[in-house]
């Protein structure tokens, strides 16, 4: 009888611990999604940085994931059929300090080459995703004045 009680105690402690962990994990996901909604209501968007000419024209639409957006009056998305994907600009990345240049990443590989390859990979991935879109909403073109190919 004593052995059985000891086993029950051991098993109940393990079960209680497991339930606490499961409860905590599921509770955190619920809290996280709830806290994101609360943040959207409570956190103010960043102040105007001054580079937008008419910031007062911006609105906060419910159907877009932005705090502010400006859409040209009369804009109709159905009028647009081509898309230009600009190359990824990496010139504004933080310059490497002397300490970073001495790091093992630079000894094993050229970090600047890796950045350029990553930028090209991302550009090509975006182009491929639009080209493989089953709805064929946009034709990817190299430059805005490029002659359109028949669909």
Q: Does any domain span residue 130?
A: yes
- Write out the residue range of the structural domain in which residue 82 sits: 76-141
Confirm whether 125 is domain-assigned: yes
The answer to the question of residue 122 being in a domain is yes
- Segment 17-51, tens digit of pLDDT: 555 555 555 554 444 455 556 666 777 767 777 77
Number of independent structural domains in the chain: 1
pLDDT band at 90 (very low <50, low <70, confident <90, very high): confident
Comparing 43 with 139, which gets the higher pLDDT? 139
Report if residue 39 sits inside a domain: no
Q: Classify residue 106: in a domain, yes or no.
A: yes
- Assigned domain for 120 exists: yes
Is 50 within the bounds of a domain? no
Prediction pTM value? 0.51
Long-range contacts of 118-124 (CB under 8 A, 24+ apart): 119/87, 119/88, 119/89, 119/90, 120/87, 120/88, 122/88, 123/85, 123/87, 123/88
Is the residue at 118 inside a domain? Answer: yes
């Amino acid at each position: 009888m004593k052995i059985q009680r000891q086993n029950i105690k051991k098993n109940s402690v393990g079960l209680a611990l497991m339930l606490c962990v499961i409860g905590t994990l599921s509770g955190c996901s619920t809290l996280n999604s709830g806290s994101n909604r609360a943040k959207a209501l409570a956190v103010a968007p960043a102040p105007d940085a001054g580079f937008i000419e008419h910031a007062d024209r911006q609105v906060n639409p419910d159907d877009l994931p932005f705090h502010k957006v400006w859409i040209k009056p009369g804009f109709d998305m159905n009028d647009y059929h081509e898309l230009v994907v600009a190359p990824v600009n990496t010139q504004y990345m933080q310059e490497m300090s002397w300490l970073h240049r001495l790091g093992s990443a630079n000894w094993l590989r050229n970090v600047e080459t890796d950045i350029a390859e990553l930028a090209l990979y991302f550009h090509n991935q975006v182009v491929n995703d639009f080209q493989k879109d089953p709805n064929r909403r946009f034709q990817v073109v190299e430059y805005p004045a490029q002659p359109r190919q028949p669909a």
